[in-house]
Amino acid sequence: MLKTGTKAPDFSLKDIYGIQRSLTEYKGKKLMISFYRYAACTFCNLRIAELIKLHPEFSSSNMEFLGFFQSPSEKILEYAGAKKPPFPLFPDPKREIYTLYGVEQSSRWKYLLGMLNIPKLLRSFKNGVHWGDTDGDSFLIPADFLVDENQMIHTAYYGKDISDHLPVNEMRKFVRNDS
């Protein structure tokens, strides 16, 4: 697991559109790097929809979002990519970048805890997000990393269950330097 104050691991990877990107090209910007489960995950797609709505607020504060899925590009384009997010999404089916950031699978208990998050499940269904094919490890737990302009990890947030991500208010504090 990565800790606050450590250098964010660099990566170079093609996004879902085939554009080669690396962490170093974002030097000078604040980042939220998010690791999701798989492309058809209801909770993951709900979070992507939330970040799409929040993107103007954060991009105006020099903050960008980067998202990783353990799914291939075609699957990401079918689900989260179909929403046309204004930030890059990356396929990482071998979970190489997940490994760099210490994102791993968890117990069945954390899986069940997430599945019991009925309010979030209902909110996702209400927003037209439905479960699809599982093309990855169902027990993978999401993680979010806030990275400063010098590419140091400000916050390493490893989800408590399959539905858990960094709270938006923590993102806002980071942008305002209130932490």
Those residues whose C-beta lies under 8 Å from the C-beta of residue 67, and which sit 6 or more positions away, are 33, 34, 35, 36, 48, 51, 80, 85, 87, 88, 89, 90
Q: Which residues pair with 146 in a beta bridge?
A: 32, 155
Residue at 73 is within a domain: yes
Residue closest to 72 by CA, chosen among 38, 22, 35: 38
Residue 92: the pLDDT is 98
Residue 133: the pLDDT is 73
Q: Domains in the chain: how many in total?
A: 1
Residue 147: the pLDDT is 99
| Torsion sign (Cα): 64, 70, 73, 78 | negative
Q: What is the pTM of this model?
A: 0.88
pLDDT in tens, 141-174: 899 999 999 999 999 999 988 889 999 999 999 9
Q: Is 36 helix (H, G, I), strand (E, B) or coil?
A: coil
DSSP for 77-111 reads HHTGGGG--SS-EEE-TT-HHHHHTT--B--HHHH
Q: What one-character DSSP code corresponds to residue 28?
A: T
Give residue 157's domain range: 12-176
CATH code of 127's domain:
3.40.30.10
Those residues whose C-beta lies under 8 Å from the C-beta of residue 31, and which sit 6 or more positions away, are 8, 63, 64, 65, 66, 145, 146, 147
Q: In the chain, which residues have pLDDT < 50? A: 109, 114
Across all residues in the chain, what is the average pLDDT?
Answer: 88
Residue at 3 is within a domain: no
Residue 160: the pLDDT is 86
Residue at 26 is within a domain: yes
Q: Is 3 helix (H, G, I), strand (E, B) or coil?
A: coil
Those residues whose C-beta lies under 8 Å from the C-beta of residue 108, and which sit 6 or more positions away, are 139
Structure tokens at 14: 């093609």
Residue closest to 70 by CA, chosen among 26, 29, 107, 101: 101
Residue 109: the pLDDT is 46
Residue at 5 is within a domain: no
Residue 63: the pLDDT is 98
Residue at 155 is within a domain: yes
